Amino acid sequence: MDALSPLLDSLRVQAAAVGHFDFGLPWCFAWDYAPTHCLVVLEGRCWWADAAPGEGTWLEAGDALVVLRNGRFTLGSAPDLARVPWTDVWRAAMLSNLKFDKRESTPAPMRLSWNPGAERTHLLAMAFGFEDGERHPLLAALPDRLLVRRQAHASPWAASALDFLGTESGRDLPGFAALSRRLAELLFNDLLRRHLLSSPAHAGGWLKGLADPALAKALSAMHRQPGQDWSLARLAQQAGLSRTVFSERFLARVGETPMGYLRAWRMHCARELLAAQRPVGEVVGRLGYASERAFREAFKRLAGTTPTAYAHGHRSSASR
């Protein structure tokens, strides 16, 4: 059962930006960039240290670093180099701060050159803003940073996309900004998928459930049909297990009860529907709540606001 596709489909990118960075040797930055972003090595290599400088790993051409949160680390051409604050580099290049707002047009591709030289490292940078942020079940279940090696389930189309972004970035042809955003979204999803396919046994939360064939069937059923009248017994039946075995295994692998996970997934789907300006009554019907009152109470308890206020906030943002 494909339990991953519905989650990737539901990952709504609000805005994306693409940049190309050329760093001449030697270089080393104290990286500090908060929004979700990816760095793909197109040419050369670089040293990434997640903790103290010198305690890290080499990123080779084709490797990607996905930073979902807490973007503080060292990135340089070699270990133990003096670090320049990344904010200083950004300001020196006179690049504006990114505002991930769907009201704004797609940002033009950013280009940054530092210490130009014959030996260089060329990075493709992709930054993202998401409608659901870290509350999305997929992003919330993943660690702060993912290292995706080139060999990990590499896709031929992804190599072509990276080549296109690398060669077209300097030509300033009309339409490239829009195309680059679409490709960035696809590449981001591809990197997440490659990470999950390469290390399912080591993933946390529901990802461990995906590695269990029985639990994957129940997870897939919840993801595809959140509005079904699911009970513990029916979910256990989907998994082909007794209620006791299913409940215990789900809690051990996923880290929460089956019904708790279902509530969280329904709430994510509710936020998505409300943001799309679907009526509350429709949301209630599609997600299997007993009544509008029950839904409103559950939504306010978990989301911190009422469904109407949440929908109004998205409508106001879209109209500005």
Give me the pLDDT at residue 232, please.
96
Give me the pLDDT at residue 38, please.
93
Give me the pLDDT at residue 170, please.
65
**Judging by DSSP bridges, how do beta strands 13-24 and 72-76 pair with one another?**
unpaired
CATH number for the region 206-319 comes to 1.10.10.60
Percent of the chain with pLDDT over 70: 86
Q: Hey, how many other C-beta atoms are within 10 angstroms of the C-beta on 315?
A: 12
Task: Answer with the residue of higher pLDDT: 105 or 115.
Answer: 115
Please determine, for residue 26, whether its predicted confidence score (pLDDT) is greater than 90. yes
Contact yes or no for 59/78 (Cβ under 8 A): no
Give the separation between CA 69 and CA 140, rounded to whole angstroms. 10
Question: What average pLDDT does the structure give for the chain?
Answer: 83
Lowest mean pLDDT among 9-23, 69-83, 105-119, 295-309: 105-119
What are the residue boundaries of the structural domains of the chain, listed by start? 5-198, 206-319
Give the separation between CA 219 and CA 196, rounded to whole angstroms. 15
Structure-block tokens of residue 237: 């039946």
Give me the pLDDT at residue 202, please.
45
Contact yes or no for 3/50 (Cβ under 8 A): no
Give me the pLDDT at residue 108, please.
65
**Per-residue pLDDT band at 143 (split at 50, 70, 90):** confident
Mean pLDDT: which of 39-43, 100-104, 198-202, 217-221 is highest?
Answer: 39-43
Q: What is the mean pLDDT of residues 216-241?
A: 92
Give me the pLDDT at residue 105, please.
52
Give me the pLDDT at residue 320, please.
45
Q: What is the mean pLDDT of residues 268-274?
A: 86
CB neighbours of 280 closer than 8 A, spacing ≥ 6? 274, 292, 295, 296, 307, 308, 311
Predicted confidence (pLDDT) per residue in 154-194, tens digit: 778 888 888 888 777 767 778 888 888 889 889 999 998 88
The CATH class that applies to domain 5-198 reads mainly beta
